Amino acid sequence: MRGPAVFLDRDGVLNRTKCRNDRPIPPASLDELEILPGVPEALRELKTAGYALVVVTNQPDVARGLTTLDAVNQLHRFLGERLPIDEFRVCVHDDHDHCDCRKPRPGLLLASPQYDVAKSIMVGDRWRDIDAGRAAGCKTIWVRCDYDERLPERPDAVVSSLWEASKVILTDGAPNR
């Protein structure tokens, strides 16, 4: 039987982002990677409640030549050793590639059938995450950040951290549409 997942954006949800011109940028190395407060506890509680934990992240800096897939995988190995993540799904394309996996398209969330997407939740800090979740048929929770970009439309819940998102999920089972 397929179970529900919590799909998690990486940067801004699990780890701190830096901002350049009010736009989020991912950590370039382990030296820059900082897991946000409350993340380990939130993930442990979600895992105990029976949710699969799947990171779905756009990493266009690979396509742009600013980092390598090996560097991205190194960050994921580090996170995977410290957090109860079941799976990392990465899109390394840029917008002009028009791939199905780059959020706001739902390809990363729909990549394999082992999760019941209709009972799953997408947690993200950008409009792309919320749009991808909605396109996949998930409930959505927006972790509000002050980026200089368009706001997501109609997330099912708005929170200030993954810790707060976990409380919404565990209290309600998932936010109601």
The rounded distance, in Å, linking the Cα atoms of 15 and 162 is 10
Catalytic member of 11, 129, 131, 156: 11
- Grouping H, G, I as helix, E, B as strand and the rest as coil, residue 23 is strand
The rounded distance, in Å, linking the Cα atoms of 31 and 9 is 20
**91: enclosing H helix or E strand:** strand 87-91
Catalytic member of 9, 125, 129, 156: 9
Assess whether 11 carries a catalytic annotation: yes
Are 29 and 15 contacting, i.e. CB atoms less than 8 angstroms apart?
no
Structure tokens at 171: 């209290």
Assess whether 9 carries a catalytic annotation: yes
Q: Distance between alpha carbon 13 and the CA centroid of its chain, in Å?
A: 6
Annotated catalytic residues are 9, 11
